[in-house]
A and B are shown apart, each in its own frame.
Chain A
Amino acid sequence: MPTPMERAPEPGLEYVPIPKTRYTSAEYAREEWDSMWTKTWVCAGRASDLARPGDYFTLELGRESILVVCQKDGSLAARYNVCMHRGNRLREPGRGHASKFACLFHGWEYGLDGALEKALDPHCFKQGLDRSKLDLRPVQVDTWAGFVFVNLDPNAGSLREYLGVIPEHLDPYRFETWKISFDATIEIDCNWKTCVDAFNEAYHLAATHTWTLEFSDDTRTLYDCYDRHTRMLFPEVQASLRHPGANTVTPGIKEMFLKRVGVDVDRFEGDWQDARKVFAEQQKKLAANMGADLSDLNESQLCDDFHYTVFPNMTFNTHALFTWVFWHRPHPTDPNKMSFDFIELVNAPSVEIPRPEKQRFSTAAGDTLAGKCNGGDLIDEDLYNLPRIQAGMNSAAFENLHLCTQEVRILHFHKTLEDYLERGRAERGRAVSEADASGGAEKRVGQRD
């Protein structure tokens, strides 16, 4: 089934101010944790990193660390990365391979299935060692398109239900066969939503990435909002209408696109629409050499960035032969800090690509990505902005985000987030009412006594 191209219904959102405290307040961050992060499906990594029994990786999400492991029978499982004896973390953050998980504190050992296999001096536990309480605590896990998702809510609905339109839209890319070609985590001095927002609109292109207007088009970008998730169809191989070279084959289109796919640009004589057609055709030829199947992708998908945000924190910059996937993870306690995971996937099923080691960077240390990965210079421009945005939001002069129609995905994102938080507030309200009622009843009983 091809990716639906029809526009989503107009979401009918009001362009209300978004309070800056959602980005700066520790109280709001706690509410997000209690009512959203612990209720949603969150992507933890790639299934290809869990190919062999014993392979594992951790997801560091806020205050929690989740251990995702390939068990002996090849099935995947997720558990809290916490020894049930005294609470020690079992494994350092990252990925690896284990025959069992042994705690460094007192040596308790757990199997790949999470079962407590050995406790030192078991006779010393006068209360016994109840395995039902001492096995590693499970977390829901499921996969889609080669991505592994976890959900901290034991009563959560299915991943499929949660993803809504996303599989229908992105399955034509066949991500399960794509390979990781770059892997980095960047610590950024900003709120996790500041980072999500930065990639949820093309409005910032004209000022932040001015040089890209020659070959990418912010002015004809389309924005669609779905149940929880959103997309923007961001034209590439096409100059912005703001650019003097609009509707022509600019030098940037020739250099950055046509030349790279093997077109002899000195002899190319077509117009800008011909350039897109030629680029798309060349992509198909390259794909054949790499074992990639583009048969379900249309011409737009062969040229443009089909940009999807899977709520709450997963961003796809989807192209026919490569895709950048971002995860925006909250800091455990500080709303002014976050971790930004950036992997590049390549659509090259028949090409041997060694799994790259994760690289670690920090904006506070002045690290940059230029020269370290494809598009590093582009991402650097966002990384430069993000801590400055966060600092500015903390100013007494700034109170609310003031959003335009090109930023509708941010508005929709906030509505989705607030829906979760409202449910949490309602549940807490009910719990307080029930506690009051129960307390009142006890009092009345006491009075009768």
Chain B
Amino acid sequence: MTENDLRWVEIPIPLPPDGKNETFVLDGRELLLCNAGGTPYVVPDECPHAKISLQGGLIEGTILECPIHGGRLDLRNGEPVAKPIRRPTKCYPVRSVGGRLEIGLPAI
């Protein structure tokens, strides 16, 4: 998928403080906006392991930790880096336009 295949939509919440995350809903999707060292990342607010919310999970570097079972994901590519998470999650592209954060969703 290229940038042309995306439609860019403003993220309706501000970037949380460094190392924190916050949930938001867009187009019926429950998403998680993460701040990893000042860089924003968006992943589904659902752990690929137990299908529970990742909100409140600690972020160290670019690694997000599930607050309930301790599995870890790399926010840069969604890859699991610690069990019990074994499957990757989706990573949405994020960009900053005029101070606003936008997420790239599929065009159709």
Contact = CB atoms under 8 A, between A and B. Distances in A.
Contacts of B68: 98-100, 102, 109
B22 to A, nearest CB: 15
Contact of A97 (B58, B61, B84): B58
A376 B3 CA distance: 46
A98 B84 contact: no
Kindly name the residue among B60, B83, B84 whose own CB sees the greatest number of chain A CB atoms within 10 A: B60
B45 interface: no
Nearest to A97: B58
A99 B67 contact: yes
A98 B83 contact: no
A391 interface: no
B75 to A, nearest CB: 15
Most chain B beta carbons < 10 A, residue from A54, A92, A355: A92
B56 A99 contact: yes
B69 interface: yes
A97 B84 CA distance: 15
Nearest to B59: A97
A102 B69 CA distance: 6
A56 B72 CA distance: 15
Interface string A83-104: 0000000011010111110101
Q: Contact size class for A?
A: 10 to 19
Nearest to B58: A97
B26 interface: no
Interface in B20-78: 56-58, 60-61, 65, 67-70, 72
B90 to A, nearest CB: 23
Interface residues of B, number: 14
B6 interface: no
Q: B67, B70, B72, B84 — which one has the most chain A CB atoms within 10 A of its CB?
A: B70
B13 interface: no
Contact of B70 (A91, A109, A355, A357): A91
Contacts of B56: 99
Contacts of B67: 54, 97-100
Nearest to A99: B67
Contacts of A91: 70
Nearest to B52: A102
A96 B58 contact: yes
B42 to A, nearest CB: 21
Interface in A43-101: 54, 91-92, 94, 96-100
Max chain A C-beta neighbours (<10 A), residue from B58, B83, B84:
B58
Nearest to A91: B70
Interface in A334-357: 355, 357
A355 B60 CA distance: 9
A91 to B, nearest CB: 5
B67 to A, nearest CB: 4
Contact of A98 (B70, B72, B82): B70
B58 A104 contact: no
Nearest to A100: B68
Interface in A100-117: 100, 102, 104, 109
Contacts of B65: 96-97
Contacts of B72: 96
A99 B47 CA distance: 15
A92 B57 CA distance: 16
Nearest to A56: B70
Contacts of A357: 61
Nearest to A102: B68
Nearest to B72: A96
A10 to B, nearest CB: 50
A91 B70 CA distance: 7
Contacts of A92: 70, 82-83
Contacts of A97: 57-58, 65, 67
B54 to A, nearest CB: 11
B84 to A, nearest CB: 5
A23 to B, nearest CB: 34
A58 to B, nearest CB: 10
A361 B32 CA distance: 35
Interface of A: 54, 91-92, 94, 96-100, 102, 104, 109, 355, 357
19 contacts: A54-B58, A54-B67, A92-B70, A92-B82, A92-B83, A96-B65, A96-B72, A97-B57, A97-B65, A97-B67, A98-B67, A99-B56, A99-B67, A99-B68, A100-B67, A104-B69, A104-B84, A109-B68, A357-B61
Given A92-B70, A96-B65, 7 more contacts: A54-B67, A92-B83, A97-B57, A97-B65, A99-B67, A102-B68, A104-B69
Which 5 residue pairs of A and B lie closest in terms of their CB atoms, listed nearest first? Answer: A97-B58, A99-B67, A102-B68, A91-B70, A96-B70
